[in-house]
């Protein structure tokens, strides 16, 4: 390794980060809303955060995993393919999980993006076909993790730390995943 032939440059000033003060209000349905506007780009981003307390799933451990993977895969008003086509047509990105939803796209499509996001979050349809497909993926992942030292160690650590009946100490098994039904 050679020595540098000139001194390292002096660092410049730290960039100024200006996070706007959010506007907050509550909707009629009790949903609390925070809005931070930034008009530098013609884009919008939405985050819906649901404050779900942890709960023990017991013999049906896997309900949360399967629900999370199935939510937003079609709604009562729109089949999965049509929903995905609408999102793609807008050039938007919409995603769902048990802890909420995310949407982003061009600001000129704000109303449509919000509409799709709300429809997916509130009116998701869960079909037996989707359940079986997602269950197969979950079981495949479980089999892959059986040979992963990190996964096994993490599971043992959680059980020892939290206890088997605590939500964070529970772990997926083939049996608990198969116990999950649409009812």
Per-residue tokens: 93? 């990105």
What span, in angstroms and rounded, lies between the C-alpha atoms of 6 and 137?
Answer: 56
Dihedral sign of CA atoms 162, 148, 143, 68 in order = positive
The predicted-structure confidence for 42-84, as pLDDT tens digits, reads as follows 999 988 888 888 888 999 999 999 999 999 888 999 999 999 9
CATH 3.30.830.10 placement within the chain? 23-52+72-123
- The CATH-assigned architecture of domain 23-52+72-123 is 2-Layer Sandwich (3.30)
| Predicted local distance difference test score (pLDDT) of residue 19 | 81
Residue 1 pLDDT exceeds 80: no
> 128-172, pLDDT tens digit by residue?
999 999 999 999 999 999 999 999 999 999 999 999 989 999 999
Residue 6: the pLDDT is 84
- 78-to-45, 84, 131, 179 alpha-carbon distances in Å: 23, 10, 18, 29
Higher pLDDT, 35 or 174: 174
74-96: average pLDDT: 94
């Amino acid at each position: 390794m050679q020595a540098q032939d000139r001194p390292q440059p002096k660092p410049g000033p730290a960039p100024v980060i200006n996070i706007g003060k959010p506007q907050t209000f509550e909707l009629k349905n009790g949903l609390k809303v925070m809005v931070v506007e930034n008009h530098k780009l013609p884009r919008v981003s939405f985050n819906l955060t649901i404050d779900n307390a942890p709960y023990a799933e017991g013999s049906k451990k896997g309900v949360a995993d399967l629900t999370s993977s199935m939510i937003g895969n079609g709604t009562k008003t729109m089949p999965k393919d049509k929903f995905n086509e609408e999102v793609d047509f807008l050039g938007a990105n919409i995603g769902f999980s048990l802890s909420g939803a995310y949407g982003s796209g061009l600001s000129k499509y704000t109303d449509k993006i919000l509409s799709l996001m709300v429809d997916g979050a509130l009116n998701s349809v869960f079909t037996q076909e989707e359940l079986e497909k997602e269950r197969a993926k979950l079981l495949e992942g479980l089999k892959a993790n059986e040979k992963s030292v990190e996964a096994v160690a993490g599971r043992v650590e959680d059980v020892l730390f939290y206890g088997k009946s605590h939500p964070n100490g529970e772990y997926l098994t083939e049996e608990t995943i198969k116990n999950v039904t649409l009812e």
